């Protein structure tokens, strides 16, 4: 039979999940002063919960485990710090799945579905959100990005509807990650920028990580302190661009340390290092799947102005490095600092060069294998090949491709196929994977969610006309919305799933400042 104190604790815990901490701190002191083991367990639960909600009400997270609720909350805390411990329970129960996921251990088939059914039956909405978020993370690890985004959206919507504070933080961080992996880095940054304003310290490492790998540059304060994933990632890229091997290896080691025990984070680090270092060896177990890797690198490749005075950095595109001896690979532009001296660089930057660049990139990615001419045309031009209409312009493009390649290699035509045979290593732009002006505009808009043409132009260091031309197709496609207030036109980046969190709904008995 519950004591009056534990009954109060049970009720207070449910209120606290929704952000109502009125009377909770005093109750925790009363519970801690009791000799009743159940009262002490409730104190641990409340303390673990408070540590994840807000710095305004935080208490140190408990080191003791054994209680299932505390285990779950501590499991979330472990994820936030990218730190896995020896599993506290087998990965067949709620208390062991977070450690198992962090360490990359496979979960029993159907386990998450079974636990979700139990959570629904017991009306444990918080646990259901945790499990749905874990389904999203597991789907990302398997490269099932559409499925991952679907689970992440579901978890975010449930948490928003139920008003569960830490579960809303968790679900939205997972949603930000899923958006990034799905190539929607601007929406990811919109979420993490909003979360950064409200979450307490335990969440900030993961928030910083997501911002860094979505391509967000460090702010002036971070640069001054020289800390954080965004600073380390920026210095890693600078070292690669300058060919500074010792500095590069140091910052790579720092980033590996930051990844901690989270296998998925370590895979991101290794993928990035490979994209910056042509000499880094490939390891299938330490890198992302093909689709996830391309979306990941595309997100990292986009950057914009970091300085407060509006100075800007050029977008960092993706390139293809091909040697003729091994399969080609995508590299970030700054990998050029580590390229061998005998590598030929193909520079194609104007709008008129776009189809030539696409054709070269497409043939390079085949690794010397043949590709049907009509398929090359379809992927380069974006529509089906009709010889009577398109042969002449296609031949003109192929002629320009051969001229651009020169002595680097030959484009051979055999039985309706095309094949590129290299005689020299080369480094060529990959237009399909590189940042566009539209990407940069969306990224700038993602910082605040709402701004105007002049502010975007200042941030990116481009003309207002360039921004207007980029915004037109974005508005037409629904990627952002246009709002007019009198003579002022603003552009809004909305995420129909995400709702910006606020501390205003937290209620607690706090000491006066």
Q: Which among 390, 415, 432 is the end of a domain?
A: 432
Residue pair 492/4 in contact (Cβ under 8 Å)? The answer is: no
Same-domain check for residues 412 and 382: yes
- 21-76 pLDDT, tens digit each: 888 878 888 887 777 888 878 887 888 888 788 766 655 555 655 567 767 777 77
Residue 475 has pLDDT above 60, yes or no: yes
Q: Using CA atoms, how far apart are residues 160 and 137, in angstroms rounded to an integer?
A: 19
Q: Is the pLDDT score of 331 beyond 70? A: yes
pLDDT recorded at residue 314: 46
Q: Same domain, yes or no, for 284 and 343?
A: no
Indicate if the alpha-carbon torsion angle 292, 297, 298, 303 is positive or negative. Answer: positive
What total of structural domains would you count in the chain?
3
Arithmetic mean of pLDDT, 218-227 = 84
Q: Is the pTM of this model over 0.85?
A: no
Residues 158 and 255 in one domain: no
Percentage of the chain modeled with pLDDT above 90: 31
User: Where residue 109 falls among pLDDT bands split at 50, 70, 90?
Assistant: confident
Report yes or no on 158 lying in a domain: yes
Q: Residues 273-327: pLDDT tens digits?
A: 999 999 988 765 566 666 667 767 766 665 433 333 333 444 457 899 999 888 8
Which residues constitute the domain of residue 336?
Answer: 318-432
In this structure, the answer to whether residues 69 and 173 fall within a common structural domain is yes
Judge whether 89 lies within some domain: yes
168 and 40 in a single domain? The answer is: yes
Q: Average of pLDDT values for 242-253?
A: 96
Q: Would you call 205 exposed, middle or buried from its count of C-beta atoms within 10 A (0-12, 13-18, 19+)?
A: middle
Same domain, 82 and 146: yes
Between 299 and 355, the higher pLDDT residue: 355
- Position with higher pLDDT, 106 vs 88: 106
Q: pLDDT tens digits for 110-146?
A: 889 988 999 899 998 988 999 999 999 999 888 888 8
Shared domain check, 23 and 128: yes
CATH number of 367's domain: 1.10.10
Distances (CA, A) of 499 to 190, 191, 456, 502: 10, 9, 23, 9
Residues 237 and 123 placed together within one structural domain of the fold: no
Q: Which of 156, 184, 210 is the last residue of a domain?
A: 210
- 480 in any annotated domain: no
Identify the band that residue 339 occupies on the pLDDT scale cut at 50, 70 and 90.
very high
Q: What is the mean pLDDT of the chain?
A: 82
In this structure, are 267 and 357 located in the same domain? no
Under 8 Å between Cβ of 268 and 214: no
Tokens standing for residue 356: 């030539």
Q: Which of 26-35, 204-213, 450-459 has the highest mean pLDDT?
A: 204-213
Q: Which of 368, 398, 432 is the last residue of a domain?
A: 432
Q: Establish if 386 belongs to a structural domain.
A: yes
Least confident residue range of 283-292, 404-413, 479-488: 283-292
Give the pLDDT of residue 303.
46
| Arithmetic mean of pLDDT, 168-193 | 88
On whether residue 61 sits in a domain, the answer given is yes
Q: Are residues 48 and 196 in the same domain?
A: yes
**Do 292 and 335 fall within a single domain?**
no
């Amino acid at each position: 039979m519950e004591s009056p104190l534990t009954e109060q604790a049970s009720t207070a815990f449910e209120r606290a999940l929704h952000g109502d901490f009125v009377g909770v701190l005093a109750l925790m002191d009363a519970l801690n002063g009791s000799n009743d083991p159940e009262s002490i367990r409730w104190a641990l639960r409340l303390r673990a919960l408070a540590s994840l909600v807000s710095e305004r009400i935080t208490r140190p997270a408990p080191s003791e485990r054994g209680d299932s609720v505390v285990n779950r909350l501590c499991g979330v805390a472990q994820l936030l710090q990218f730190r896995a411990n020896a599993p506290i329970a087998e990965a067949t129960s709620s208390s062991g799945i977070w450690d198992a996921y962090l360490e990359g251990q496979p979960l029993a088939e159907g386990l998450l579905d079974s636990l979700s059914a139990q959570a629904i039956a017991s009306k444990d909405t918080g646990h259901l959100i945790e499990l749905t978020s874990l389904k999203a993370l597991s789907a990302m690890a398997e490269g099932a990005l559409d499925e991952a985004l679907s689970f992440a959206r579901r978890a975010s919507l449930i948490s928003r509807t139920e008003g569960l504070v830490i579960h809303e933080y968790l679900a939205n961080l997972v949603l930000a990650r899923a958006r990034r992996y799905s190539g929607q880095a601007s929406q990811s940054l919109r979420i993490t920028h909003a979360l950064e304003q409200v979450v307490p310290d335990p969440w900030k490492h993961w928030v910083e990580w997501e911002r860094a790998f979505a391509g967000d540059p460090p702010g002036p304060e971070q640069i001054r302190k020289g800390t954080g994933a965004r600073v380390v990632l920026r210095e890693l890229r600078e070292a690669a661009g300058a060919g500074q091997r010792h500095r590069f290896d140091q910052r790579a080691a720092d980033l590996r340390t930051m990844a901690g025990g989270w296998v998925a984070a370590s895979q991101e680090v290794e993928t990035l290092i490979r994209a910056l270092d042509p000499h880094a060896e490939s390891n299938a177990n330490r890198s992302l799947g093909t689709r996830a890797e391309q979306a990941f690198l595309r997100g990292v490749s986009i950057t914009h102005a970091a300085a407060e005075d509006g100075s800007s950095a050029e977008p960092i595109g993706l390139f293809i490095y091909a040697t003729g001896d091994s399969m080609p690979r995508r590299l970030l532009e700054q990998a050029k600092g580590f390229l061998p001296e005998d590598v030929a660089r193909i520079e194609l930057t104007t709008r008129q060069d776009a189809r030539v660049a696409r054709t070269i990139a497409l043939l390079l990615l085949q690794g010397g294998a043949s590709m049907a001419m009509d398929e090359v045309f379809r992927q380069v031009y974006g529509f089906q090949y009709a010889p009577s209409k398109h042969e002449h312009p296609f031949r003109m493009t192929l002629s320009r491709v051969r001229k651009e390649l020169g002595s680097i290699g030959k484009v051979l035509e055999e039985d309706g196929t095309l094949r590129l045979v290299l005689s020299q290593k080369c480094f060529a732009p990959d237009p399909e994977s590189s940042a566009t002006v539209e990407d940069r505009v969306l990224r700038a808009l993602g910082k605040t969610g709402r701004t105007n043409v002049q502010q975007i132009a200042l941030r990116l260091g481009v003309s207002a006309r360039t921004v207007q031309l980029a915004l037109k197709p974005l508005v037409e496609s629904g990627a952002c919305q246009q709002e007019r207030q009198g003579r002022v036109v603003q552009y809004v980046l909305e995420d129909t799933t995400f709702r910006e969190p606020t501390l205003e709904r937290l209620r607690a008995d706090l000491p006066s400042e």
